[in-house]
Amino acid sequence: MEVGTGLYLLGLALAAGFLPIGVIGASIGQGLAARGAMEGMARQPEMAGRIQMGMIIALAFIESLVLLSFVVFLLLQGRLPTVQP
């Protein structure tokens, strides 16, 4: 196997392997954002509308990154080469 082919396969494996890490990181981020918003609403109920709107926008940005990583994974899946032992 040539060095270029090995690096290509290594790059594909890393890209495909980072999808679960991205999903786990995004879910942790969404949980922390929701927790912060709930704590903020509990401290200042009069600001609940503004805090909730900021939380929804933040969750949308986090979720868009997860969907982007999923699309990249699906695009790479069609390009995976067959490896013969």
Is 61 domain-assigned? yes
Domain that holds residue 30: 18-77
Phi first, then psi: give them for residue 78, nearest 5 degrees. -75, -15
Domain count, the chain: 1
Q: Burial letters for 26-43: b for 16+ Cβ neighbours within 10 Å, e otherwise?
A: beebbeebeeebeebbee
Q: E strands, the chain, where?
A: none
Which CATH number fits the domain that encloses residue 66?
1.20.20.10
Summarised one tens digit per residue, pLDDT across range 23-36 is: 888 889 899 999 99
Q: Is residue 85 part of a domain?
A: no
CA distance 34 to 27: 11
Q: Is residue 52 part of a domain?
A: yes
pTM above 0.75, yes or no: no
Q: Indicate the average pLDDT of the chain.
A: 83
In a domain, 71, yes or no: yes
Q: Residue 23 burial by CB count (10 A; 0-12/13-18/19+): exposed, middle or buried?
A: middle
Q: Which two tokens stand for residue 16?
A: 């495909």
Q: Look at residue 22 in the predicted model and tell me its pLDDT.
A: 76
